[in-house]
Amino acid sequence: MKWLKTFAFELKGMRTRPDKWCAAFELSLRDGAIYWFRQLPKQTRRKWKLLFQAFINYYCTQYKQSPVARYYAATRERKEYICDYLNRLNGYARNARLQVEKALRDAKDHVEQFLLTCGDDRHMPDLGRLRLNDIRELEEVLVSLLKEKERLIARGATQQFRYEWDSYCRGDARSRSEGRSEQDRSNRR
């Protein structure tokens, strides 16, 4: 917290607009804080008030907690993407000095912790059956699941468009043929 106050004081002395502070703030970050910064939404990275609040929420409000307690207390936020939550949980694990990169007991526990706290009921049955051993495998599976979901959505949208177009064309053709038959009947009379 002291570092952040000093940083803000120095930039106020330079008389620059607060939104310009974000670039200097990014350059001053080290180690896990860089990864934390990169996973933030663009709007948060560009607006000083949002960035300041996000920094306080992430680093200062849980300052009294040990890194291990913060890791086990982490849950996915309501609108947070599942991959962003995984990155955040990985950062907590690094700060807690857990060996999640290698296929050790900590790595398996980390995967289980993610599955328990991700809050995504759609992916849980699929991921739970795979018995993943480390976080790299989990990341690969998540990426493939999300790509598959995007493909299905895209294909569903095009198929829905096709069905709507077909029904439009069929309805249009029927009305034309009905119109012709009525014209033929009137011409015959």
Q: Under the phi-then-psi rule, with left for phi > 0, alpha for psi from -120 to 50, and beta for the rest, what region is 119?
A: left
pLDDT single digits (tens) 152-186: 888 775 555 445 444 434 444 444 444 555 555 55
Stated pTM of the model = 0.50
63 neighbors 55 (Cβ within 8 angstroms):
no
Residue 3 has pLDDT above 60, yes or no: yes
pLDDT (average), residues 112-119: 80
SS3 string, 52-70, reads HHHHHHHHHCCCCCCHHHH
pLDDT (average), residues 52-79: 77
Q: Of 125 and 92, which is predicted with more confidence? A: 92
